[in-house]
Copies of this chain bind each other. A is one copy, B any other.
Amino acid sequence: MPEKKVLFLDMDDVMADTAMAFLKVYNAHFKTSYTKESIKQGTVWEDEIVKNYREIRGVIFKPGFFRAIPVMLGAPEVVEALNDKYDVFVASAAMEFPISLKEKHDWLNEYFPFIHWKNMIMCGDKSILKGDILIDDHLKNLSVFDGRAVLFDGIHNQHVEGYERVNNWAEVGKLLL
């Protein structure tokens, strides 16, 4: 039997609905009512949110934020199926927020208990990943990956081109299962 292909999955805004948790904090602070869909359709991301972000950075990255992020719709079921077909690794650029490291480990154990600790990677720069497929929402990560790079649609990457784009986990399933 041939070896399984190595598939890397990003956490924030791929497995975890980080934008949802972010917008909850953002909307409460700035008395706005943005949704992921409204942001994708307009220019408020570049025009306003990116500029205001620093003001609430301390609120967002306080203890407990990462542990409480909701799981992305459909992710547990599709990842469990992918885990049979591929050698699945979760790769999160988490080192910027050391407090998040254990929270992210515990979060994975809650929603993806079938992911062994051997298959978890907390790093800072994804250029060191050796494998076949990467699903990520950031151009900076996809652009340094040697294998097949798949862009997971998010509020901040609407203008990224040149990559296969998946809009949700159902589409990931169709593409890779």
Query: Of the candidates B117, B122, B130, which one forms a contact with A128 in the assembled complex, judged by CB atoms under 8 Å apart?
Result: B130
The A110-149 residues at the B interface (CB cut-off 8 A) are 116-125, 127-131, 146
Q: Which residues of A approach B to under 8 Å, CB–CB? A: 6, 8, 89, 91, 95-96, 98-99, 101-102, 105-106, 116-125, 127-131, 146
Query: Of the candidates B101, B116, B120, which one forms a contact with A105 in the assembled complex, judged by CB atoms under 8 Å apart?
Result: B101
A119 touches B125 (CB 8 A): yes
Cβ contacts under 8 Å, A95 to chain B: 105, 117-118, 120-122
Closest beta carbon of chain B to A121's beta carbon, Å: 5
A118 touches B124 (CB 8 A): yes
Q: Say how many copies of this protein the assembly contains.
A: 2
B6 touches A128 (CB 8 A): yes
- For the complex, what is the distance from the CA of A125 to the CA of B129, rounded to whole Å? 12
Which 9 pairs between the two chains have the least Cβ-Cβ distance?
A130-B130, A118-B124, A101-B101, A98-B105, A95-B117, A122-B122, A118-B125, A121-B123, A95-B120
Cβ contacts under 8 Å, A116 to chain B: 124
CB-CB nearest in chain B for A99: B102
Query: Of the candidates B102, B106, B130, which one forms a contact with A129 in the assembled complex, judged by CB atoms under 8 Å apart?
Result: B130
Which of A119, A123, A127, A146 is packed against the most chain B CB atoms within 10 Å? A123
Query: Of the candidates B89, B102, B125, which one forms a contact with A98 in the assembled complex, judged by CB atoms under 8 Å apart?
Result: B102
Cβ contacts under 8 Å, A117 to chain B: 95-96, 98, 124
